[in-house]
Amino acid sequence: MELTIYLAGQIHDDWRNEIRKKAEKEKLPINFVSPQENHALSDDIGEKILGEQPSKVYRDDAASSINNFRTRVLLQKSDAVIAYFGESYKQWNTAMDAGAAIQAGKPLILVRPESLIHPLKELSNQADVTVETLDQALEVLTYLYE
Amino acid sequence: MELTIYLAGQIHDDWRNEIRKKAEKEKLPINFVSPQENHALSDDIGEKILGEQPSKVYRDDAASSINNFRTRVLLQKSDAVIAYFGESYKQWNTAMDAGAAIQAGKPLILVRPESLIHPLKELSNQADVTVETLDQALEVLTYLYE
Amino acid sequence: MELTIYLAGQIHDDWRNEIRKKAEKEKLPINFVSPQENHALSDDIGEKILGEQPSKVYRDDAASSINNFRTRVLLQKSDAVIAYFGESYKQWNTAMDAGAAIQAGKPLILVRPESLIHPLKELSNQADVTVETLDQALEVLTYLYE
Amino acid sequence: MELTIYLAGQIHDDWRNEIRKKAEKEKLPINFVSPQENHALSDDIGEKILGEQPSKVYRDDAASSINNFRTRVLLQKSDAVIAYFGESYKQWNTAMDAGAAIQAGKPLILVRPESLIHPLKELSNQADVTVETLDQALEVLTYLYE
Amino acid sequence: MELTIYLAGQIHDDWRNEIRKKAEKEKLPINFVSPQENHALSDDIGEKILGEQPSKVYRDDAASSINNFRTRVLLQKSDAVIAYFGESYKQWNTAMDAGAAIQAGKPLILVRPESLIHPLKELSNQADVTVETLDQALEVLTYLYE
Amino acid sequence: MELTIYLAGQIHDDWRNEIRKKAEKEKLPINFVSPQENHALSDDIGEKILGEQPSKVYRDDAASSINNFRTRVLLQKSDAVIAYFGESYKQWNTAMDAGAAIQAGKPLILVRPESLIHPLKELSNQADVTVETLDQALEVLTYLYE
Amino acid sequence: MELTIYLAGQIHDDWRNEIRKKAEKEKLPINFVSPQENHALSDDIGEKILGEQPSKVYRDDAASSINNFRTRVLLQKSDAVIAYFGESYKQWNTAMDAGAAIQAGKPLILVRPESLIHPLKELSNQADVTVETLDQALEVLTYLYE
Amino acid sequence: MELTIYLAGQIHDDWRNEIRKKAEKEKLPINFVSPQENHALSDDIGEKILGEQPSKVYRDDAASSINNFRTRVLLQKSDAVIAYFGESYKQWNTAMDAGAAIQAGKPLILVRPESLIHPLKELSNQADVTVETLDQALEVLTYLYE
């Protein structure tokens, strides 16, 4: 059974490719989808398509509309969601995507370090599974095929 | 027409009562509901009901399950949601509630200061209305009755 | 049985009040809700709440976000929708609201003059009832209580 | 990941084939679906299948029922919708399809020339992305695969 | 707890008023709603509102659109449905309403005489409760309050 | 685009195979599904699987539960429904399936002879398309691919 | 804010009235609904309404259809569910109602003694809140009003 | 037509493989999915992924969250559900899964021995089909392809 998993989280480092490689190594028939992982492109995409905007605010607004479109299309195609929180960045998109996934009935794995237990306790409580590392999240996915 | 509005956001200061007072002054037939606004009670409620827990993590987990129950019951009774972000605190619950509201089709007003435009651009883009102050949010509600 | 009916359509003349008066005269227990009927206010509401915007486009965008919020809140509270088309104005909001009502399962009465039969044939075909005058629409509502 | 995109809009010129060709050239794995693009056939289909109707009104009604059936089947199979407005024609079907797409949770790209910003401001505000040209809409789709 | 019950079935005799009287006698807080029970009015309502139609077929079509509007509004307001079949008439509306109620998740009581067990076996199997008389259906409703 | 179409209607003659053959001849990529078309098997299936039942009523009940299971599984897999009424048999299952299809948002083609216009006027009015012959229904399906 | 709470669980003793009394004492504006609490009546209701059945199996089937009708009507009217497990009885209805509540998005409080932690671990994990006593469940409800 | 069937029930013996073998022998194009069938692994999976837990209760909680995640992903991919009850074990998960399947609109086959007719009468009444043996359940699935 092939599955599609949406990887919600920050786009400042290469964590998604690590998951992809490990899943490939274990030959899991999983298709991982994600927001735009090229951060610069993600910020530029509004002006790249719509042309220069009057100010930074409108530049952000243009980019976010296209990034949201991408997220909604891919999230709707997904069978489950991994939401990954780290110690840097505000990560409000991650929390918003997790809330949307819960409400849409998409099974959710929350990944967060021990240091974030307190501020993420409500989200953890609503997630289907909470783990501390990406490797553990992958083990949960592997378990679907055991 | 009476409406019920859920007020998502931090529970460290008295912002909800300000909204309630102003709405009352304008005689808006609106019933505002919210998470537990007594912060200490919100943190203690798990052990208060379930007894002492083995560690801080489990204390948090117990409290959050009861707080989530409250949020879900009240959010489902609401006709719209106000999500208020300020410059302090992680506010991941606020983002999660906003994501849930969007996905559930609850009309959403986002309130955030100018300084948070960039990190909240995706959420702002999905909200029905984005404003910068609570007074503006109240004006949007007032407009429903004009 | 009290009902709430959303009145979709242009806001350039007083057609909604005519319906309200006639319904009141017939003592129908119906609560009519609507978009903002004060056209100037409807156009100004964005800048009125959010302050001056950088250009007419952004002024329009600000106003429309607040008008959409109003429409969504009220449409969700409604038991049925009347969509009224006349010979003037583009009325794309009316068509969009009608499409949303159909998709949301809200029973829909389409009101349109004979001259618009051809361009509205698909919408008419999806509406529950199509009539030519507001008086006929009101007769359909009256029939609910006979 | 293959996607199906519904192309809502007028059927008087060849705009859909332009999109199809460009998408093919970029090797996007997208299947575009649409209302009947042969305008004469679209108007005739009712009488073609059901035989001559008593008047033009009934001829229109017969055709529209079959065109609506087509739209509903294909819209339900789609992952997202492009709604394209130009300066000619009433295009109420386009607005109705856009409203239905929004309500059904289908991500929506609105395409409209600068001249239509004001009358389409509410629809633009509810769309996920608004652009001015079909090429821009295609760039948004391309971005899903980047 | 007040309940609203939709009474689906033929409109050739006075069976609904019998139920209403008995429920009133037992002081059940139930509001019964129904299709138009005045058969002549039900057939005439299309032409009464829309004027004379070109033929009997179009007269029927006009009436049925208004009757369907009524049924949809009232069915959506109902907490449960009674579908009553007798030995006369085709009663396809009753079967269609029962199918709609089942699919919409409205609890359904089927009332049918012993002679109709075979042709209604699939519908009976999908109904929540099947009884043979209207008195029995009323006893089921009474049981909700015991 | 492959489609699955559910063929609701009586199971006393071979009408479904006629449709299948014609569709195959036109090379339409359509998979037709249906209730059990072997009438004797359809009546016997309960006792065949569950063993002899205490009476004809229970024999019918056992069979109908298995036939309903089949219908629900296949209807949920379908993209659209054809409901075919003829002049014989009570056909309440057909009407119930049509009601369920409408409520579930499955596009519906109603096929009924001219003689049944009056008793099926409400169902016709709610169907997406109404035609008089199976050949016409097939032409509607063919139109999806034109 | 008035709430309706469904009390799922065995009907062999008086636990629901204890909850009702305590809630009344604390003046909580909560309306508690439940399956039939008179056990004998619950078992007899099928034959009481439908007359004697051919065997105990059919007697059970008749009763359960009416009890299920009651449960579905009342569960749909509820804002949240309490599912109470004790050490006696199979309580499969309780587990089924809990599963239905979770799937329907009704917030759920699970009450179970310490001795049942292991067999109810999956249900506990899906419930919003798990407590060990009815008094604790009532405290959770009280917290909604604090 | 390929189907996916979820097999809910205890995981103490090899009943699922029997079904799989028989289905394979009959060349049914059915993909059976299930909870973790390795009972020891099912109990250990929490600590295996998350490390040692502070007590048996937390060990259970960790395991159940991962088992629930698996169930939710697979149940959502399924076209129908078989819930199998035997005379041993509490089987509350089976009842909860059955309740969730009914509420989610997944067609349900209940398998239970004659000795469990009374305690499972409500669940049986809500299931689409009730049979006494796994072979009978397989015959029902076979019937889908006849």
Q: List chain F residues with CB under 8 Å of H144.
A: 70, 73-74
Residue G133: pLDDT band (50, 70, 90) is very high
Q: Are D113 and D87 in contact (CB under 8 A)?
A: yes
A105, A128, A144: residue with CB nearest H65: A128
Q: What is the least distance, in Å, from the CA of H22 to any CA of chain B?
A: 43
Cβ distance G58 to F58 less than 8 Å, yes or no, reads yes
For the sheet with B108-111, list strands across it. B30-33, B3-9, B80-84, B108-111, B129-131
- pLDDT for the residue A85: 98
Instruction: Identify the band that residue G48 occupies on the pLDDT scale cut at 50, 70 and 90.
Output: very high
**Residue A98 pLDDT:** 97
* Unique residue bearing structure tokens 């104005």: C89
Query: Which amino acid does the sequence have at G142?
Result: T
Residue B96 CB burial class (10 angstroms; 0-12, 13-18, ≥19): buried
Do the two chains E and A touch, given a threshold of 8 Å on CB pairs and at least 3 pairs?
A: no
**pLDDT digit string (tens) for G113-129?**
999 999 999 999 999 99
Backbone CA torsion sign across C75, C76, C81, C83: positive
The pLDDT, as a whole number, for residue E84 is 98
Domain B3-39+80-143 has CATH 3.40.50.450: yes
Q: Find the mean pLDDT for residues A71-95.
A: 96
List the chains bordering chain G where 3 or more Cβ pairs fall under 8 Å.
B, E, F, H
Q: How confident is the model at residue B50 (pLDDT cuts 50, 70, 90)?
A: very high
At residue G8, the pLDDT reads 98
- The amino acid at C141: L
Provide DSSP, F98-125: HHHHHHTT--EEEE--GGGTTTTHHHHH
Given this model, what pLDDT does residue D31 score? 97
Output the pTM of the full model. 0.95
List the chains bordering chain D where 3 or more Cβ pairs fall under 8 Å. Answer: A, C, E, F
Query: For the packed helices H134-143 and H15-25, what is the interaxial angle rounded to 10 degrees?
Result: 40
Burial class (CB in 10 A: 0-12, 13-18, 19+), A137: buried
Can you say how many angstroms the Cα of residue F29 is from the centroid of all Cα atoms in its chain? 19
Work out the minimum CA distance from A33 to partner chain D, whole angstroms. Answer: 9
How many inter-chain contacts (E to G, CB under 8 Å) are there?
A: 46
Contacts of E144 in chain G (CB under 8 A): 70, 73-74
Strands F129-131 and A80-84 turn out to be unpaired
DSSP single-letter state for residue B100: H
pLDDT in tens, C10-67: 999 999 999 999 999 999 999 999 999 999 999 999 999 999 998 999 999 999 999 9
Reported as a single tens digit per residue, the pLDDT across C105-119 is: 999 999 999 999 999
- CB contact, 8 Å: H83 with chain G? no
Q: Cα distance from G27 to chain H (closest Cα, Å)?
A: 33
Alpha-carbon gap: B111 to the closest alpha carbon of chain G (Å): 25
Q: How far off is chain B from A15, nearest CA to CA, in Å?
A: 20
> Which chain B residue has the Cα nearest residue G133?
B50
Q: Kindly state whether C95 is in contact with chain B, defined as any CB-CB distance less than 8 angstroms.
A: no
Q: How many residues does chain B have?
A: 146
Among all chains, which residue has been given the structure tokens 């009407």?
F95
Q: What is the average pLDDT score of chain C?
A: 96
Q: Identify whether the C-beta of residue E36 lies closer than 8 Å to the C-beta of residue C143.
A: yes
pLDDT at C65: 96
CB contact under 8 A, F73 and H129: no
Q: What's the CA angle centered on B116, arms B113 and B120, to 5 degrees?
A: 115
Contact yes or no for H84/H108 (Cβ under 8 A): no
Q: Do H79 and F65 touch (CB under 8 A)?
A: no
Specify the amino acid at residue C105: G
Chain B contact for G79, CB < 8 A?
yes
Which segments within G21-135 are labelled E, that is strand? Answer: 30-33, 80-84, 108-111, 129-131
Phi, psi of A129 (to 5 degrees): -135, 140
Residue D101 has a pLDDT of 96
B29–chain C Cβ distance below 8 A for any pair: no
> What pLDDT, on a 0 to 100 scale, did the predictor assign at position B72?
96
Task: Flag residues of chain H having pLDDT under 50.
Answer: none
Contact E5, E141 (CB under 8 A): yes
Interface A-H, measured as beta-carbon pairs within 8 A, has a size of 46
Work out the minimum CA distance from D66 to partner chain A, whole angstroms: 29
Distance from CA of E57 to the nearest CA of C (A): 16
Please, which pLDDT band fits residue G20 given cuts at 50, 70 and 90?
Answer: very high
For residue F92, what are the β-bridge partners? none
CB contact under 8 A, A107 and H76: yes
Q: What is the pLDDT of residues D118-139, one digit of tens each?
A: 999 999 999 999 999 999 999 9
CA separation for the pair F69, H107 (Å, rounded) = 6
Residue-level pLDDT at H114: 94
Q: In what order do the strands lie in the sheet with F3-9?
A: F30-33, F3-9, F80-84, F108-111, F129-131
Given an 8 Å threshold on Cβ–Cβ distance, is G61 in contact with H125? yes
Neighbours of A, requiring at least 3 CB pairs below 8 Å, are: B, C, D, H
Does an H or E element contain C110, and which? strand C108-111
Residue H30 sits at the chain F interface (C-beta within 8 Å) = no
**pLDDT at residue G134, as a whole number:** 97
G26-39 pLDDT per residue, tens: 999 999 999 999 99
Question: C114 at the E interface (CB within 8 A)?
Answer: no
Beta strands (DSSP E) in chain E are: 3-9, 30-33, 80-84, 108-111, 129-131
Using a CB-CB cut-off of 8 Å, the residues of chain A touching C54 are: 54-55, 58
E49-66 pLDDT tens trace: 999 998 998 999 999 999
Q: Which residue of D has its CA nearest to E58?
A: D58
pLDDT at C6: 98
The backbone torsions φ and ψ at residue A106, rounded to the nearest 5 degrees and listed phi first, read -80, 125
- Residue at token pair 């608004």: D130
- Chains near C with 3+ CB pairs less than 8 A apart are A, B, D, E
Strands B30-33 and B108-111: unpaired
Chain H contact set for G111 (CB, 8 A) = none
Please report residues of D whose CB lies closer than 8 A to that of A31. 1
What band does A121 get if pLDDT is binned at 50, 70 and 90?
very high
E-assigned strand segments in A44-95: 80-84
Tell me what pLDDT residue F127 has. 97
Other C-beta atoms within 10 Å of A85: how many?
24
Q: Are G92 and H92 in contact (CB under 8 A)?
A: yes
Its ipTM equals 0.94
Q: What is the mean pLDDT of residues A11-29?
A: 96
Give the other-Cβ count within 10 Å of C14's Cβ: 11
CA distance E101 to E90: 19
Contact (CB<8Å) C66/B129: yes
The DSSP symbol for D114 reads: G
What integer pLDDT is reported at residue A32 of this predicted model? Answer: 98
Picking from F74, F95, F75, the residue whose alpha carbon sits closest to that of residue F9 is F95
Q: What is the pLDDT of residue H32?
A: 98
Residue in B17, B7, B9 with CA at minimum distance from that of residue B141: B7
pLDDT tens-digit map of D45-91: 999 999 999 899 999 999 999 999 999 999 999 999 999 999 999 99
Average pLDDT over residues E116-145: 96
Residues of G in contact with B31 (CB under 8 A): 1
Q: Which residues of D touch E54 (CB under 8 A)?
A: 54-55, 58
Dist. CA B45–CA A139, nearest whole Å: 34
Average pLDDT over residues E15-41: 96
- Give the mean model confidence (pLDDT) for residues B46-54: 95
Is B30 within 8 Å of chain A by CB? no
